Structure 1
Amino acid sequence: MAKRKQQPPDEGSPAWMSTFSDLMNLLLCFFILLFASSTMDEGKIQKIAASFDNLSFSVISEGSVSLLTGEMLSGGMTQLADTDSVLSEAGKNIDGNTGDKSSSASPTDAEHLSDNDLQAEVERRGEQQSEEMYEEVMQMAETYAIDDQIILDFNDQYVELDLNGSILFDSGNAEIKDNSKLFLQKIAQILVKYKYNVIEIEGHTDNIPISNSKYEDNRSLSSERARSVYEYVVSQEHFIDSNIKIAGYGDSRPVASNETEEGRAKNRRVAIKIYNKQNSNN
């Protein structure tokens, strides 16, 4: 049986390609019409652009000014103790209340605060830190049963522990009494919790002139008393010596009237100031 002769293929493209090409043209026209009929919201575009213009990332325009006494860095950046965290917290009310959104400033607004407002915020944060330390120190003093032997106070810079001089020293002397050493050991156990903070030990006296050959005046006596407390405290616990300061003020900073014996007794004291983290970094 003879083989069937193969038919030659039709010339040109297959028929299905014409249909496919028409479909692609229709789709292209459809998307062109969709794009042409859409409109750009110019208002939204301007708002988005403005929001990028207002972002600061702690960079001050042209590096020409600095906040408070912050150190000027390259590129217009400033470094001020705790300023970054102050600005980040400024979404809360400047008076310290969290409030609702209508009564609080945004972080961008905070960077345009006046120096006075920013300083007020720094002080508020410092007082908050000091108050937290005050509560901690008070709790430890109660635990060690010495809360009735110290006077505690605080401000936006530090917590102050006032130790009665008569507990620590004999009259006109700067040597720590033996029966007060246990008391100072407990004080050292409290202070070491804040060894990374600046700690200042101050000696104070009343205004009665000293009359012995060992100390020439009240200031020298107060300085030696502060040194004695310092030396005993650091012998009990491990401190960072560069964080501890000592000073003697004699009778120049009384806390009560020197006209009465009761007032003079209050003035004969050793004050220990534990600076909060914000002021320890200055």
Structure 2
Amino acid sequence: MTDADYTATEAMVVAAARELDDGDSVLVGVGVPNLACNLAKRTHAPDLQMVYESGTIDSNPSKLPLSIGDPVLASGALRVVPMFDGFTTYLQAGRIDVGFLGGAQIDRHGNINSTVIGEYDDPVVRLPGSGGACDIASNAHRTIIITPHEERRLPAEVDFVTSPGYVGGREGRAELGLRGGPSAIITDKAVLRFDDDGVAYVETLHPDVSADEVRAATGWEVEISDESARTAPPTPDEVATIRDELDPQGVYTGTD
């Protein structure tokens, strides 16, 4: 493929999808995480077990669901349970391998803010809040975060911790009794992992993205482990699956 054969958003979606292993159980978020999970199931992870907050277990949608309440999730699911059971019997009981999340802000410790921008009592913007995100971040065995790579979205510290990452470092998370933790932040510029202290660093840069671009778009002095390390680009089949099957109108990728 040439560089013009995929967009930055498609590169982000593909990189996120590749984080999922065949047979994983994944609690799927809305928006771009939803697209990434459905791409994984249609490519390298056909036995991916997708669980949605609405209570559909092992969903197998015939098309990309527009929300967690889309009826297409129920028609091909193994089970449909009350939302309460989805969170207690599956998530809080430790039966979910991966939680897929996004947010307005993600900081260097993988904490997610979807509550307010600015001071809580007098915010610049009030956001929708946690939904099930805090439970997912606290109970999944690993969390994958996906976000556009912008300084305002990747501050050194979030304005409000809606969903915990490595709060106070890895030891701080363990002291809180939380399961798992974030394993990666996938952006449209890079793939970030977490070091022994629970601080995010850049593992790979996406094709044609420079280290300086990433540093300028990150709210902390982010470490880049190897400036020559590159994320494998999307394959023609992956791009075709996104454009022809999953998002033909470009709702999430903007490619229409």
* TM-score relative to the length of structure 2: 0.24
Larger RCO of the pair (alpha carbons < 8 Å, separation 6+)? 2
Compare the two structures and name the one with the higher helix fraction: 1
Which has more strand, going by share of residues?
2
The TM-score normalised by the length of structure 1 is 0.23
The structure whose Rg is larger is: 1
